[in-house]
Amino acid sequence: MKKSTRLRQLLAKKEIIVAPGCFDALTAMLIEKAGFSASYMSGYGVSAGLLGMPDMGLTTMTEIHTVARYTANAVEIPVIADSDTGYGNAINVIRCIREYIQTGIAGIHLEDQVTPKRCGHISGKELVPIEEAVGKYRAAAKTRDEYDKDFVIIARTDARGAMGGGLDEAINRANAYLEAGADIAFVEAPTSLEEIKRVVDEVNGPLFYNCTGISPLLPVEQLQELGFSIVIYPGAGLAATVKGVYDLMADIKERGTEAMVDFRKSMGGHFLEDFNAFLGVQEVRKWEGEFLPDEQVQKKYEASLGYKL
């Protein structure tokens, strides 16, 4: 089954989809292992992890698509990806949607900022005119319908915090984008429960919530009651990685090998203790036995043992 079809089935259940943020294949695999039904590939996370730079329009479509392809193919659960502004005008969006469909990603969100864009929770955002944005969502919807009707298009508007915008403008744009063919509306960066309730009451379609930054960190149950279809925690995987790696490196710098000994002890009984098994070493060995000549297989095992059998 296509990942896009799987995502559509999850949406049809009317139970909110909780999608923590990944930024590469490995973090997506960990999210799947933890039991989540979907993951969200964060543009912020990819920019930080791949480039070591902020989410301010510095990643290219090729870079993002490469990470998206690896990520989507590493897991069985559907992955929703950040596609920034579609990397240009409506014509660029046509190519963008085709490329994302080919990666195996289940859906994307597309923003109405100017190019280069910036993270939705960083100040200084600027919007393209609504007429231009509507054209981009129309192009996205038409391309979806031609190549994969199940592919999910999420229309993100940054009007709430953009120059010359505001909540009224954000709601107006969200409705216009849904009318243009988007599947789900994503009003970025509301700052209070009152604003969130206005979005729920006044946007005429399914809703997507970003549980991060300046927006209230509402419980999943409350977001479900309000009527949201998807909630993401985009920085979750990145933040855990940064903290975990830094804390361990600082400990090794201070205590050397003793820190690694203690760290390994702390892993006792955890599935990551056998990380090779998690990555699929046994499956690769099975393929070797099934498809490689016996002579090659024996040489590989002899090399791993350090002596001839």
Told to judge if 274 belongs to the known catalytic residues of this protein, a careful annotator would answer no
Of the residues 55, 99, 112, 195, only one is catalytic, namely: 55
The per-residue DSSP string of 12-59 comes to HTTSPEEEEEESSHHHHHHHHHTT-S-EEE-HHHHIIIIISS-SSS-S
Told to judge if 89 belongs to the known catalytic residues of this protein, a careful annotator would answer no
Residues 242-256: pLDDT tens digits? 999 999 999 999 999
Q: Among residues 166, 37, 218, which one has the least CA distance to residue 209?
A: 218
Of the residues 24, 32, 188, 195, only one is catalytic, namely: 188
Told to judge if 87 belongs to the known catalytic residues of this protein, a careful annotator would answer no
Told to judge if 119 belongs to the known catalytic residues of this protein, a careful annotator would answer yes
Question: Is the same domain home to 274 and 195?
Answer: no
For position 121, which CATH number holds?
A: 3.20.20.60
**Residue 57 within a domain:** yes
Give the SS3 label for residue 185.
Answer: strand
**Residue 263 within a domain:** no
**Residue 258 within a domain:** no
pLDDT at 212 exceeding the cut of 90:
no
Q: Among residues 58, 57, 29, which one has the least CA distance to residue 41?
A: 29
Which pTM was predicted?
0.90
Told to judge if 100 belongs to the known catalytic residues of this protein, a careful annotator would answer no
Told to judge if 295 belongs to the known catalytic residues of this protein, a careful annotator would answer no
Residues 84-139: pLDDT tens digits? 999 999 999 999 999 999 999 999 999 999 887 777 676 777 899 999 999 999 99
Of the residues 109, 121, 144, 173, only one is catalytic, namely: 109
Told to judge if 111 belongs to the known catalytic residues of this protein, a careful annotator would answer yes
Told to judge if 169 belongs to the known catalytic residues of this protein, a careful annotator would answer no
**Residue 239 within a domain:** no
Measuring CA to CA, how many Å separate 58 from each of 40, 50, 95, 122, 182?
20, 11, 19, 14, 26
Told to judge if 210 belongs to the known catalytic residues of this protein, a careful annotator would answer yes
Q: Which helix (H) or strand (E) holds 192?
A: none
**Residue 30 within a domain:** yes
Among 234, 260, 288, the domain boundary falls at 234
Question: What proportion of the chain, given as a percentage, has pLDDT over 90?
Answer: 75
Full domain range(s) for residue 278: 270-309
**Residue 148 within a domain:** yes
Of the residues 8, 24, 32, 40, only one is catalytic, namely: 40
Residues 131-181: pLDDT tens digits? 999 999 999 999 999 999 999 999 999 999 887 789 999 999 999 999 999
DSSP label at residue 114: P
